[in-house]
Amino acid sequence: MPITLPSTLPAFDVLRNEGVMVMSPERAASQEIRPIRIGLLNLMPKKIQTENQFARLIGATPLQIDFQLIRMTEHLTKNTAAEHMETFYRPFAEIEASGEKFDGLIITGAPIEHLPFEEVTYWDELRRVMDWTQSHVFSTFGVCWGGMAMIYHFHGVQKHMLDHKAFGCFPQQNMAPTSPYLRGFSDEFVIPVSRWTEMRQSEIAAAPGLRTLLGSAETGPCLVEDPAHRALYIFNHFEYDNETLKQEYDRDVASGTPINVPMNYYPGDDPSKKPLNRWRSHAHLLYGNWVNEIYQGTPFDLAEIGR
């Protein structure tokens, strides 16, 4: 939450330049408060687990969040009970037809990264979703495959297959310490990575308007800001629970799928030991900062979004 200071006080500019949320008394007096409306377009097969992960992060701020669950219209999940989907999810076509707007939208990853985007069964509808965000969503957060899909749709930046799965907890560097999205971030930290594809920094740098905020020498760009489309793209998984990588590893071992022990995850890289969560604090920082940036900039009247 912001601190209110006179705009003429020297500390106002000092703190603002350091990335601290500051607000003048005039701005504070003019604010009107309402719940922040955030949608989750859930493309993951384990819907309930993904709901829990993102709700935990989004719900950790002092702000009231109206959290809406959204699904693709025609695509039916095989891993979550139909009753759950019918009770808690709304198809995108219904939301699109209603004309309603959102302060924020999260587009999750999906286990289809081996496919070209155009071969995904719901690609045409997802393109419609991404275009819809430009007039109906104040800020959009694309996660893993969802982020790759957005950066491809808006900028033509391609994903590339890796020779082996990037799997584990990899150190990341803070490349934009004064970004409001990185308030409170350390210079270096770890984040869970689990993907067979990558985005390349050289190609992101060549796309006008994109700014890489977090990145790794081992796993490439992590978090990219796209101000023109009011979007963030993250290619790794701050939302993961303590044992999500373990569950993926155990699943592949049980099925006989070749997989390396997730790097820097188990103490001593020993799968018999309990994994340690070394990313939780930065996960809450990032999503809390995103929600607060929405709070600072979104119009009180949702109808004004996109005008």
Please list the active-site residues: 144, 237, 239
Burial class of residue 232 (count of CB atoms within 10 Å of its CB; 0-12, 13-18, 19+): buried
Burial class of residue 38 (count of CB atoms within 10 Å of its CB; 0-12, 13-18, 19+): buried
Distance CA 106, CA 104 (A): 7
What number of other Cβ atoms are within 10 A of residue 14's Cβ?
A: 11
Q: How far is CA 230 from the centre of its chain?
A: 13
Give the SS3 label for residue 13: helix
Comparing CA positions, the residue from 283, 126, 147 lying closest to residue 225 is 147
Residue 196 Cα distances to 112, 151, 259, angstroms: 10, 17, 11
Q: What is the CA radius of gyration of the chain?
A: 20
